[in-house]
Amino acid sequence: MVLEIENAQPLVMTIAGLDPSGGAGIIADVKAFLHFECTPVAVLTSITFQNSEAVFGAIHESGDSLRAQILPLIQEKRIAALKLGMMPTTEIILEIAGFIRERQLPAPVIDPVFQSSSGYDLIEPDAIDVLRRDLMPLARLITPNIPEAEILTGVTIEDEQTMHEAAERLREMGARAVLVKGGHLIREFGIDASPIEAVDVLHAAGGETVFRGEWIEAPSVRGTGCMLSSAIAACLGQGLSLAESVRAAKNYVADAIRFVQETESDQVSP
Ligand code: PLP
């Protein structure tokens, strides 16, 4: 007998990789879901081997394993929102796309995960084309950083104008909405500007929104892309609009970065 437990919280699913150190991936996703009072369910795409310094390797799940993880969950409960993180192989991407196309899973918030901050490839090169072709047209939102947006579109991003161009291109490729995150642009081009501004651009059916905030420098913070996309999915699961979800998620990540920055400055002060 299946015991149906009443659950007032929206059920939000992450399909992502395990970073055993907890800085990024599925652990960061679950933390964000809990913060926004959602009940997490988590489907694993890959076990990576890493610590705060580097990624040392990974063993990926198969398409069959993904199916076997997802089916029992969706047979029992309705998933209110879906976040997709590390999807390392063509097989995994096609399996997930099938579930979404058959409406067994909701349109996802996709965080394209291509490389770790330390430079380790987290997706096989041929899978990027499949992500672009088979998954992006199903996206509720896609949240690339600058290098990921450049790889997906071929647009060279140098400033705010080119961020908009890339966002438009990604919408033309079929994503319902696109959030291009300017963090990497600021790291490369704006370091001597004061105060440094963090700029993200959102393109959606309702128009364009530019989010501006103070850039908070905390080089050791990892997994901010995971946190942001999961927080957005959680807020969408709670019934917030897309723009409200992005705003709330950005505040959540800014607070997390500030917390690390304060902890680090406490450690260096005498
Ligand atoms: N490992 C996993 C499983 C991830 O999902 C991600 C990013 O999404 C990373 C590593 C990379 O994180 P970082 O950019 O902080 O190195």
CA of 16, closest atom in ligand 1? 5
Q: Which pLDDT score, from 0 to 100, does residue 2 have?
A: 41
CA 100 / ligand 1 centre spacing (Å): 24
Q: How far, in Å, CA of 224 to CA of 184, rounded?
A: 12
Specify whether the CB–CB gap between 142 and 112 falls below 8 A: yes
23, two tokens: 């800085």
Q: How far, in Å, CA of 84 to CA of 136, rounded?
A: 11
Q: Whose CA is nearest to atom 2 of ligand 1?
A: 25
CATH architecture of structural domain 11-268: 3-Layer(aba) Sandwich (3.40)
Residues with CB under 6 A from ligand 1: 16-17, 19, 23-25, 48, 85-86, 113, 116-118, 222-223, 225-226
- Walk along the chain (270 residues) in steps of 10 and give the mean pLDDT of each run: 61 98 95 98 98 94 98 96 98 98 97 94 97 97 96 94 96 96 70 67 95 78 93 98 96 90 67
AA identity, residue 125:
P
171, two tokens: 């919408």
Q: What secondary structure letter does DSSP report for 206?
A: T
Where are the extended beta strands (E) located within 85-205? 109-110, 141-142, 178-181, 197-204
Q: Which pLDDT score, from 0 to 100, does residue 196 have?
A: 72
Residue 192: exposure state from Cβ atoms within 10 A (0-12, 13-18, ≥19):
exposed
User: Among 31, 61, 122, which is best to mutate for testing ligand 1, by the most ligand atoms less than 8 A from CB?
Assistant: 122
112 preceded by cis ω (within 30°)? no
CA 223 / ligand 1 centre spacing (Å): 6
Q: Which pLDDT score, from 0 to 100, does residue 190 have?
A: 55
AA identity, residue 175:
A
Q: Which pLDDT score, from 0 to 100, does residue 123 have?
A: 98
The C-alpha torsion from 75 through 76 and 77 to 81, rounded to 10°, is -40
Q: Which pLDDT score, from 0 to 100, does residue 269 have?
A: 52
Q: Which pLDDT score, from 0 to 100, does residue 259 have?
A: 84
CA 44 / ligand 1 centre spacing (Å): 14
Q: Which pLDDT score, from 0 to 100, does residue 183 have?
A: 81
Length, in residues, of the chain: 270
Domain boundaries, the chain: 11-268
How much is the pTM?
0.93
- In 77-136, alpha helices (H): 90-101, 125-130
Q: Which pLDDT score, from 0 to 100, does residue 1 have?
A: 40
